[in-house]
Amino acid sequence: MITAAIWPALDYSRVPYRLYHDAEIYACEQDRIFRGPAWSFLGMDTEIPNPGDFRATWIGETPIIFNRDESRAVRAFVNRCAHRGALVRRELSGNAEQHICIYHQWCYGLDGSLMAIPFRRGIRGKGGLDASFEMGAHGLRQLKVGNINGALFGTLAEDPEPLEDYLGAPVLAQLRRLFDRPVRVLGYNRQRIRGNWKLYAENTRDNYHASLLHEFLVTFGLDRSTQVGGVKMDSRHRHNITWAEAESDTEEFARQAYAGARVRNDFLSLREPALVAFRAEREDKLNIAITSVFPSAVFVQISNSLAVRQIRPRGVDEVEVFQTMIGYEDDPPEMTLHRLRQANLVGPAGLVSMEDGEAIEIAHRASKPDLDRTTVIELGGGGVISDRDYRVTDVPLRGFWSYYAELLGIEPKGAVR
Amino acid sequence: MTADGASVYALLAEYGALIDAAKFDEWLELFSAECRYQIAPRENFDRGLPAALVFCDSRAMLEDRIRALREANKYNIHTDRHLIGLPRILDDGFAVEAPFAVYQTDQEGETRLFATGLYRDRLEAIGRHLKIRDKLILLDTFAVPSLLATPL
């Protein structure tokens, strides 16, 4: 059984490899995080515009459907029949008046209530269910649903912290910024990485790796650690915003800074510069804003490429990264084309993101045999977890682990938060 | 002029062989001076959604992809093997559809199916050669294993 004794350091600067590989710990996470108090991203409001529209998704390994009911309210349920535990809705998306399980045709309404059961009274008075069977007690299990400017979140917690409180002011501000206009979904992409889901959750909070692993950023002048930027967290440090401002450094300064790193600093240019050209869409200068929401959502702006990623654990050794690419409804066709071009930057074939798949797989593979050894998280120093106005840091990883420890009930006495 | 079967087969065979041999500059020469290259997840294509995994709507963008692969990107060390099925040659002979599978083999000799899907090509005759003007790769395996670096 996992206990608080697993942590070698009270500031979470050491994480035992066991946490990425132990099946029992993985099961515990499903229970205490994904089916626990956390809020998870479900999808976008605009994906289900009409009554009866539904989409299937996942919270951890739990199958979920969300739909718009007759009153136009968004509802979300565990996608599992009360009868035999089968998926009720097998399609990923569509429009329907009811959700009917194929196994024995149990039929649920758009509010999740159990509406009809075939042969409920049997045939010629024989068989069927007892008169005492309560239809009302066998609906689909409901989630609580929250909506931030069209971004839908759900939780299985009975009495959750209000979504706005859970996200905290900095994350709320980022989401309201990203979703300041009605969005249009441009498409999806998926990546299956042979590594534990937390390696991906850490990766999105790790500002230090960005321009070292993803050399495209520096080589082609899209993003450099010499730009003005930093990391900003909520007061509990469970979420993080990695940010940078466009054109906030000089070539010369960057060239000198990267001379000591083992990445090239003879910056190259592209034949099609539109691929990395940033068009400011707001008053602020942010050209990188990566908002990681505990446990499994990431809201991404890289230049003019916009996306929401869902981290979907698939067993202790595999994770699916499901990414929804977005633009805005009022984008002129030329801006949509610009976003489709910049979609080349992200996703499984992304010019600045493909390396993450490889980095996570090699970390997962090499850490597996030595479960009591640990990672090192000390960029930007150990000790107190706090915001930083520089980019060579991985402090937000310690914030992730501190909330992780709290939810799993393994927070050591005297640990930082 | 129409494109004959033998030249289409030869083009497709060359296409797969050049990627598998990592001869990306020669592979680029199979495309017209003005060309498009897209890898679209079936999930999007079937829903009429435009986002692609790789979206190069000019030859310059395709060349940038290859340059980035060589100069900047890091990816799983592997070799590719293209198995390209018999093409359907449609219309005037310049529209071609061919099913494909790409297997990847790592450094320790482990092979896995990486991708399967359908090529939808629009070809054109440049002098005596057939070139690819527009290649749409409909990716059945849109849950991409690990990452997608080398071209499909």
Alpha helices (H) along A1-135: 18-21, 23-29
- Coil vs helix vs strand at A403: helix
Whole-model pTM: value is: 0.96
* Chain position carrying tokens 């000591």: A260
What stretches of A117-256 adopt beta strand conformation (E)? 144-148, 151-155, 183-193, 229-233, 240-245
Domain count, chain B: 1
Task: Name which of B46, B53, B57, B110 to mutate to probe chain A: the one with the most chain A Cβ atoms within 10 A of its Cβ.
Answer: B53
Do B143 and A347 lie within an 8 Å CB cutoff? no
Closest to A170 (Cα-Cα) out of A260, A234, A89 = A234
Q: Is residue B150, in this structure, part of any structural domain at all?
A: no
Cα distance between residue A142 and residue B87, in whole Å: 49
Cβ atoms < 10 Å from Cβ of A338 = 20
Return the ∠ at Cα A93 (arms to A88 and A99), rounded to 5°. Answer: 30
A142 burial level (CB within 10 Å; 0-12, 13-18, 19+):
middle
Please indicate whether, in this complex, the C-beta atoms of A215 and B53 are within 8 angstroms of each other.
no
Q: Is residue B145 part of a domain?
A: no
- CATH 2.102.10.10 residue ranges of chain A are 40-146
Q: Who among B47, B54, B57 is closest to A349 (CB)?
A: B54
Contact A197, B49 (CB under 8 A): no
The C-alpha torsion from A177 through A181 and A185 to A186, rounded to 10°, is -90
**Could you tell me which chain B residue has the CA closest to the CA of A324?**
B51
According to the model, what pLDDT value does residue B1 have?
56
Chain A residue whose CA is closest to B48: A187
Q: Hey, is the C-beta of A161 within 8 angstroms of any chain B C-beta?
A: no
8 Å CB contact of A357 and B67: no
Contacts 24+ apart (CB under 8 A), A112-116: A112/A75, A112/A77, A112/A139, A112/A140, A112/A141, A112/A142, A113/A139, A114/A82, A114/A138, A114/A139, A114/A140
Mean of pLDDT values over B4-13: 94
The pair of three-digit structure tokens given for residue B55, joined into one six-digit string: 């979206």
Residue type, B72: A
**Cβ–Cβ pairs < 8 A, chains A and B:** 126
pLDDT of residue A261: 76
Nearest to A395 by CA among A415, A411, A412, A417: A417
Name residue A158's amino acid. E
Extract the residue ranges of chain A whose pLDDT is less than 70.
262-266
Residues of chain A with CATH 3.90.380.10: 169-408
Instruction: Give, in words, the CATH class of A40-146.
Output: mainly beta
Strands A183-193 and B143-145: parallel
What is the Cα–Cα distance from A281 to A379, expressed in whole angstroms? 32
Q: With 0-12 CB in 10 A as exposed, 13-18 as middle and 19+ as buried, what is A262?
A: exposed
Question: In which band, very low, low, confident or very high, does the pLDDT at B112 lie, cut at 50, 70 and 90?
Answer: very high
Q: Report the SS3 class of residue B110.
A: coil
Q: Which CATH number is B72's domain given?
A: 3.10.450.50
CA–CA dist A399, A417 (Å, integer): 7
Residue B147: inside a domain, yes or no? no
| Helix or strand run (H / E) with residue A307 | strand A305-313
Q: How far is CA A334 from the centre of its chain?
A: 29
Percent of chain A with pLDDT over 90: 88
Tens of pLDDT along B73-91?
A: 999 999 999 999 999 999 8
Tell me if B49 and A186 make a contact (CB, 8 A cut-off). yes
Helix (H) or strand (E) holding A63: strand A62-68
Task: Report the chain B residue with the minimal C-alpha distance to residue A319.
Answer: B146
List the single residue in A92, A192, A325 with the smallest CB-CB distance to B143. A192
How would you class A205 by CB atoms within 10 Å of its CB: exposed for 0-12, middle for 13-18, buried for 19 or more? buried
Most B CBs within 10 A among A351, A353, A356, hence the mutation to make, goes to A351
Res B2 pLDDT > 90: no
pLDDT at A266: 67
What was the ipTM of the complex prediction?
0.96
CA distance A169 to A181: 19
Digit-coded pLDDT (tens) for A264-318: 666 778 899 889 899 999 999 999 999 999 999 999 999 999 999 999 999 999 9
CA distances from B71 to A216, A269, A376, A396, B65 (A): 8, 11, 29, 30, 10
Domain range A169-408, CATH class: alpha beta
Judging by DSSP bridges, how do beta strands A151-155 and A93-95 pair with one another?
Answer: unpaired
Q: Count of H helices and E strands in chain B? A: 4, 8
